[in-house]
Amino acid sequence: MKKRILFAAVGIPVLLIILFAAPEWATSAMCALLAAVASYELMHAVGGAQWKLLAAMPAFAALMTAAMGAPMLGIAPFWLLAGNFAVILYGFVMAIATHGREKQLGFATLAAGILSATVLPAGFASLALLRCVSPALAIAPLVGAFMSDTGAYFTGRALGRHKLCPYVSPNKTVEGSVGGFIGSVAGMIIWHLVVKSTISMDIGLATAAVLGLAGSALGQIGDLSFSVIKREFGVKDYGTIFPGHGGVLDRFDSVLFVSPAYYLILLAVFA
């Protein structure tokens, strides 16, 4: 817990500086870097040293994140489709080239690599796209997901009795899940009131509550989804880059599911 608090004391101000004080490209660069690390973490968790057979995949993940999350670059949908095709082609060519050899690329690692350079960038790019609209909107998925985590953690510790998904995450409880919804809704309502009073951006109290419910539901699904992978492949943490929190996927697993949903919901609100 001490490491978590110390990291938060340093990490949160740095994140806020990047989102609010730095230009838009800094957020895109940060998201691209996170995507590259997450790509490596996922492949390494699934295939161990096999990830080296797809050593270019983290670079693809970073490029795809930057391409999707930086509208100022003016990258056409044609090139985004071409990038996805290149990722898939690269993965299968490496599988074909190494098949039957002592060090061959297994399908699980191949699938993890393709997922890491296509789906994961969509989650990180959504944060960058929200930042292009307003730094306040880029904060929203983080508030929704992290407040859900916080509410679930403390409620589960205090009141947890009934296991939620014991084979996936033994410590999670139904009571904690309910606390997560309460924490996320409360967090998004506070976010809404702060944003409304400071920059006069009003999405409406009802929308804020909907974002809270969606943030908790999708955040918990994201958390459990990446926990399934860890359980199947016997991994405790995806990495150690964040002291007390693990790797990028350990910290952002819930955000990766929340940020695309928030982008779509807020896009509809502001349309």
Phi, psi of 73 (to 5 degrees): -80, -20
| pLDDT at residue 15 is higher than 70 | yes
Give yes or no for residue 10 having a pLDDT over 80: no
Concatenated DSSP letters of 2-33: HHHHHHHHHHHHHHHIIIIIS-HHHHHHHHHH
- CA nearest to 18, candidates 33, 4, 5, 3: 33
Q: Which pLDDT band, with edges at 50, 70 and 90, does 104 fall under?
A: very high
Question: How much is the pLDDT for 79?
Answer: 81
Average pLDDT on 17-42 reads 94
pLDDT > 70 in the chain, percent = 97
Residue 103: name the closest of 50, 55, 28, 145 by CA.
50
How high is the pLDDT of residue 89?
A: 97
Average pLDDT, the chain: 92
- Give the separation between CA 223 and CA 220, rounded to whole angstroms: 5
Are the C-beta atoms of 19 and 135 separated by less than 8 Å?
yes
First to last CA, the chain: 42
Closest CA to 137 of 146, 145, 128: 128
pLDDT in tens, 243-264: 777 899 999 999 999 999 999 9
CA 212 to chain centre: 17
- pLDDT over 90 percentage in the chain: 80
Q: CA-CA distance, 40 to 51, in Å (whole number)?
A: 7
Quote the pLDDT of residue 7.
62
What pLDDT, on the 0 to 100 scale, is given for residue 8?
Answer: 66
How confident is the model over 60-96, as pLDDT tens digits?
A: 999 999 999 988 777 878 888 899 999 999 999 999 9
Question: Across residues 195-220, what is the average pLDDT?
Answer: 95
- Quickly state the pLDDT bin for 4 (edges 50, 70, 90): low
Q: What is the pLDDT of residue 2?
A: 64
pLDDT given for residue 247 in this prediction: 93
Structure-block tokens of residue 146 = 């992290």
Confidence of residue 122 (pLDDT cuts 50, 70, 90): very high
- Do residues 191 and 147 touch, judged by C-beta distance below 8 A? no
Please state the pTM of the whole predicted model.
Answer: 0.91
Provide the 3-class DSSP secondary structure of residue 202. Answer: coil
DSSP 8-state assignment for residue 161: -
- The residue that leads in pLDDT, 214 or 269, is 214
- Segment 14-19 shows an average pLDDT of 89
Task: Outline where DSSP puts E strands in the chain.
Answer: 163-165, 169-173
Pull the structure tokens for residue 104: 């061959």
